[in-house]
Amino acid sequence: MKRPALMVFAFAVAVIVSAVAVIEVKHQNRSLFLTLESLRDERDDLNTEWSRLRLEQGALAMHSRVERLASESLSLRRPGGEETTLLWLEEAEAGR
């Protein structure tokens, strides 16, 4: 082969290799983008569930609900005034 024909052949091979590399990189880019979108959707779903669980926890821990369950399920009641004892600390003990 002549030298110019060899150069043309080398450039053609380089162009084909470059084209294949571009196609491969574009495919990887699309695959990674799909993975990223999937992970973002999962993140959004988890954030939604977390918010729902925080609201549910807040509702379950409401003082009125806890007090109602304590009285209904456990038969607990508030102590009356005669059952309550107040303890007073001496001023010397309070300063410690």
pLDDT at position 72, please?
87
> Which CA distances in Å does 33 have to 24, 36, 44, 46, 73?
14, 5, 16, 20, 53
Q: Which residue has the higher pLDDT, 5 or 42?
A: 42
Question: What's the CA gap between 64 and 67, in Å, rounded?
Answer: 5
| Six token digits for residue 68 | 């109602």
Backbone angles phi, psi at 80, to 5 degrees: -75, 175
Residue 64 sits in which domain range? 3-94
pLDDT per residue as tens digits for the range 25-75: 999 999 999 999 999 999 999 999 999 999 999 988 888 888 888 888 888
| Six token digits for residue 51 | 């918010």
pLDDT per residue as tens digits for the range 74-84: 888 888 888 88
Prediction pTM value: 0.55
Q: What total of structural domains would you count in the chain? A: 1
Question: With contact defined as beta carbons under 8 Å apart, do 63 and 69 qualify?
Answer: no
